Chains A and B, each alone.
Chain A
Amino acid sequence: MARGELSRGLWRAFDSLGALSRPQCQSPLRTSTPRRIQPSTTARCITTSTPRAVEPTSDKPEVLEKFTAAPEIEIELELELEDRPARKTGRSDADKKFRNDKSKLAKLRVVPASPSYFSAKPTFTDDVINLLALLRKVATLPTVTPAEAPKVAWKTIDQYRIMTNEPVKTQRFHKMLHLLRRLNCVHPSLMPQEVLDAMKRYKKDSQPGDIVPSPGVIDELGRAKGVGRRKTSSATAYVIEGEGEVLVNGKSLTEFFGRLHDRESAVWALKATQRLDKYNVFALVNGGGVTGQAEAITLAVAKALLVHEPALKPALRRAGCVTRDPRKVERKKPGHIKARKMPTWVKR
């Protein structure tokens, strides 16, 4: 059985070698490869430039640092691609030629595509070297402070590892991120295209600010709509220019909210921006409790108000009316009485 497996494996290897359609040694070796290689022969044609299948192949050539490799070897090879039919017909002829090739191949010095081929993480090393070269190039350009630089979501280390298929260490990766951040700090108006192209490789697919919500519209009746949520309540508020009248589910604010605090919460967006007497609000709210409903209305009114006056956003953010409060009821856990509460400890 073991023997059978071995032979099968050999056959598969042989087949795969025979099925190779494209030449595997590309740039450094400008010779055509022999088509038929006996599996028993030790001189196997091994590619030196690793095919980066995982990487997104870009049509542009990558920016690689210049290095000097050994000069190409001129080998006279009789075997040409056009001779293939002849090779098929005359077996002994082909064998002879192949032996001839083998002797020549033995003289070949295979040069890796990248100088960092013999390092443990060639892609990563290449990346770092390229970035360093790029940085050297753009080092003299004016910069902005990191806070002012465009916000970029860089790939996480895990994403980078998957991309390169190399066990990159966290610290090294962070050092590379420092380079990237420094490159990102080049003044945006003078940012060279090649830097942008180079940084693209390290950015996440979706960047912050990519998804821009569609801007709110004021409809033909002058209403701006906003939706807000809090806990399990959700509210829709329609804000119109007016005198400060507020209706919640068709009731007045006092009828709907017994507590003064809740009333103030509901119109807090308007009150904090001194707009309470400039707009009318009618809100529809459902779900949750009284406080949740009031605070859902806060958010809804703020969003609708932003449609009327987008410049109020910083003021509303300071008033705490822009961000949705993400807190919700924590789920109950098995073994607990509530989310965190444990049963009373009993000695026996």
Chain B
Amino acid sequence: MSSSMSLRGLSQLSLDAVSRSAIPTRSLMIAPQASCFSTSAARYANPTMKKKGMGAAPKKGVKSLRITKSNKDAAGSGKRPAPGERKAMRKRIVLSNDNALEVAGLQDLTAENALDASHQGKVRGIPEEAVDALRAVEAFKPRQGWSLFRRPAVLMRKETMELAQIMKKIESSEKSKKESKRIIVYGERMGGKSTLLLQGITMAFLRKWTIINLPEGQDIVNAHTDYAPLPGSQPLQYTQDTYTAGLLSQIVKANQGFLAATKVSAKHDLPLPLSKGATLKQLAELGAANPEAAWPVFVALWTELTQPGRPPILVGVDGLSHIMRESEYLNSNVKPIHAHDLTIVRHFVDLFSGKTALPNGGLVLGVTSGSNSPANSAIELSIAGAEARQSKSALPQWNPYKAIDQRAVECLKNVDVLKVSGISKEEARSIMDYYAESGVLRAQVNEGFVSERWSLAGMGNIGELERATVRLRV
């Protein structure tokens, strides 16, 4: 019965093969291509036909061996992330947590009180506009605990107040002879070095300084962006157009107010036409939009920023040890290019070594990293030297058996250092009160608890303190 049915069905299928497009392709395979004896019976037969492969699985199971998995299984049940999605997830910065409680008495830093010494040991909120600027210059790092709290706030620790004092001094220096400072920030891993840079940028933003931040030294030298030799440079230097364009757009976002309000004053030799009376913002945007012109635009912008009467400049770089060594880029002889031969790095290094002055005053901060830093004996030596100078003790001898980068040593000869060590117990108390008020720390904050956590966090290492109190709740 069934065989005759299927035969009839098959004959019908083969006959009007043109008209059936909705039939599954599998049945196409078994359809005989030969013509039937008769067509009439098939024509009038019931067209509803039992489709093959739609029935139940064989009762005794499938005995044939299936070695290969179907592609569907191999892909897994879930949806695979799109290219770049994983990295975006990894680098995502979340700055608020709706589940955290609003801290009642949290004061914000303002333009007036940003550099006040009265903040010492208090937790202060970062105002909204400063948060935008900080986000633009990538001052927030993915591994920091911003996502635990309602909104970004920072502890104004002793080192922050030292930095504020330095900035105050720079601001109050005479107009004709503006002061500038060059500082290496170093210290323990998770000790708050990058956060100190962030605090510096915040204060600079509130005090209307110009901010230029190189968020990660490794990104400049790891050969992930394009590079090209700079024509006419001796010795040969290399520009990184895409990176420079990105940097220009960051500068625009972070210094919107000042750049939009200031007109280009000098005549610049640019590869692209710039309308007369353009603002600095337009100049920078020109470079950001046209990577091939990015470097000349950056140079022009820098010239503009260092014109007399312009605000002081804060230049920051995180991950200093990466840019004090050979980069991953190769020259035409397939030799590694020294990081100092990259124009952006060279620009920063000249500022850092004091070769290029900051006529309007400013602060150059080089922040070392505790977790992502290749061994760099030049930095170690310069830190030891600066410490000896500050404590008026004998200068350290350098180990002749250690490979040392001479260019880096030259560059770091006369820089100051700022050590970021553990916070004091009072500061720990203050930040733990903030944790408790945010609702992320449920324990009662008393002296015993504070000092216990302070000890366990390696004498007040703030990152470890956060880890031990907020993240690793037992």
Q: Decide: B472 and A271 in contact? CB cutoff 8 A.
A: no
Q: Judge if B458 is at the interface, Cβ distance under 8 Å.
A: yes
Q: Decide: B456 and A264 in contact? CB cutoff 8 A.
A: yes
Cβ contact of A254, chosen from B425, B451, B452, B458, cutoff 8 A? B458
Q: Judge if A245 is at the interface, Cβ distance under 8 Å.
A: yes
Q: Decide: A255 and B188 in contact? CB cutoff 8 A.
A: yes
* Known contacts A254-B464, A276-B451, A277-B448: A246-B189 contact under CB 8 Å: no
Residues of A within 8 A of B190 (CB): 254
Cβ contact of B455, chosen from A255, A260, A274, A277, cutoff 8 A? A277
Q: Judge if A252 is at the interface, Cβ distance under 8 Å.
A: yes
Q: Which residue of A lies closest to B467 (CB)?
A: A260
Q: Judge if B5 is at the interface, Cβ distance under 8 Å.
A: no
Residues of A within 8 A of B452 (CB): 244, 271, 276-277
Q: Decide: A260 and B468 in contact? CB cutoff 8 A.
A: yes
Q: Decide: B451 and A244 in contact? CB cutoff 8 A.
A: yes
Cβ contact of B458, chosen from A253, A276, A277, cutoff 8 A? A253
Q: Decide: B188 and A252 in contact? CB cutoff 8 A.
A: yes
Q: Decide: B451 and A243 in contact? CB cutoff 8 A.
A: yes
Residues of B within 8 A of A244 (CB): 451-452, 454-455
Q: Decide: A277 and B188 in contact? CB cutoff 8 A.
A: no
CA distance A243 to B448 in the complex (A): 11
Q: Mark A239-281, 1 if CB is under 8 A from B, else 0.
A: 0000111100000111100001001100100010010110000
Q: Mark B164-196, 1 if CB is under 8 A from A, else 0.
A: 000000000000000000000000111000000
Q: Judge if B438 is at the interface, Cβ distance under 8 Å.
A: no
Residues of A within 8 A of B299 (CB): none
Q: Decide: A252 and B472 in contact? CB cutoff 8 A.
A: no
Residues of A within 8 A of B454 (CB): 244
Q: Which residue of B lies closest to A279 (CB)?
A: B455
Q: Decide: A252 and B458 in contact? CB cutoff 8 A.
A: yes
Q: Judge if B461 is at the interface, Cβ distance under 8 Å.
A: yes
* Known contacts A244-B451, A276-B452: A260-B458 contact under CB 8 Å: no
Residues of B within 8 A of A263 (CB): 456, 458
* Known contacts A254-B190, A260-B472: A277-B451 contact under CB 8 Å: yes
Q: Decide: A274 and B468 in contact? CB cutoff 8 A.
A: no
Q: Judge if B459 is at the interface, Cβ distance under 8 Å.
A: yes
Q: Judge if B457 is at the interface, Cβ distance under 8 Å.
A: yes
* Known contacts A263-B456, A277-B455: A254-B188 contact under CB 8 Å: yes
Q: Decide: A246 and B459 in contact? CB cutoff 8 A.
A: yes
Q: Which residue of B lies closest to A256 (CB)?
A: B458
Give the shortest distance, in Å, between B448 (CB) and chain A (any CB). Answer: 7
Q: Decide: B448 and A252 in contact? CB cutoff 8 A.
A: no
Q: Give residues of chain B (89-126) contacting chain A, Cβ–Cβ below 8 Å.
A: none
Q: Decide: B455 and A276 in contact? CB cutoff 8 A.
A: yes
Q: Which residue of A lies closest to B472 (CB)?
A: A260
CA distance A274 to B447 in the complex (A): 11
Q: Decide: B472 and A245 in contact? CB cutoff 8 A.
A: no
Give the shortest distance, in Å, between B422 (CB) and chain A (any CB). Answer: 8
Residues of A within 8 A of B458 (CB): 246, 252-255, 263
Q: Which residue of A lies closest to B190 (CB)?
A: A254
CA distance A271 to B458 in the complex (A): 14
Residues of A within 8 A of B459 (CB): 245-246, 252-253
* Known contacts A274-B448, A277-B448: A246-B468 contact under CB 8 Å: no
Q: Which residue of B lies closest to A254 (CB)?
A: B458
Q: Decide: A267 and B451 in contact? CB cutoff 8 A.
A: no
CA distance A274 to B472 in the complex (A): 21
Q: Give residues of chain B (422-461) contacting chain A, Cβ–Cβ below 8 Å.
A: 422, 425, 447-448, 451-452, 454-459, 461
Q: Decide: B457 and A246 in contact? CB cutoff 8 A.
A: no
Give the shortest distance, in Å, between B458 (CB) and chain A (any CB). Answer: 3
Residues of B within 8 A of A276 (CB): 451-452, 455
Cβ contact of A252, chosen from B447, B451, B461, cutoff 8 A? B461
Q: Which residue of A lies closest to B457 (CB)?
A: A254
CA distance A81 to B404 in the complex (A): 104
CA distance A264 to B454 in the complex (A): 12
* Known contacts A252-B188, A254-B464, A260-B467: A267-B455 contact under CB 8 Å: yes
Residues of A within 8 A of B456 (CB): 253, 260, 263-264, 267
CA distance A276 to B458 in the complex (A): 12
Residues of B within 8 A of A274 (CB): 448
A-B CB contact pairs (8 Å), 25 listed: A243-B451, A244-B451, A244-B454, A244-B455, A245-B459, A246-B458, A252-B188, A252-B458, A253-B455, A253-B457, A253-B458, A253-B459, A254-B188, A254-B190, A254-B461, A254-B464, A255-B189, A260-B456, A260-B468, A263-B458, A267-B455, A276-B451, A276-B452, A277-B448, A277-B452
The 5 closest A-B pairs by CB, nearest first: A254-B458, A277-B451, A252-B458, A244-B455, A254-B464
Extra pairs beyond A253-B457, A277-B448, A277-B455 (16, CB < 8 Å): A243-B425, A244-B455, A246-B458, A252-B461, A253-B458, A253-B459, A254-B189, A254-B458, A254-B464, A255-B189, A260-B456, A263-B456, A263-B458, A267-B455, A274-B448, A277-B451
Contact surface of B with A, Cβ cutoff 8 Å: 188-190, 422, 425, 447-448, 451-452, 454-459, 461, 464, 467-468, 472
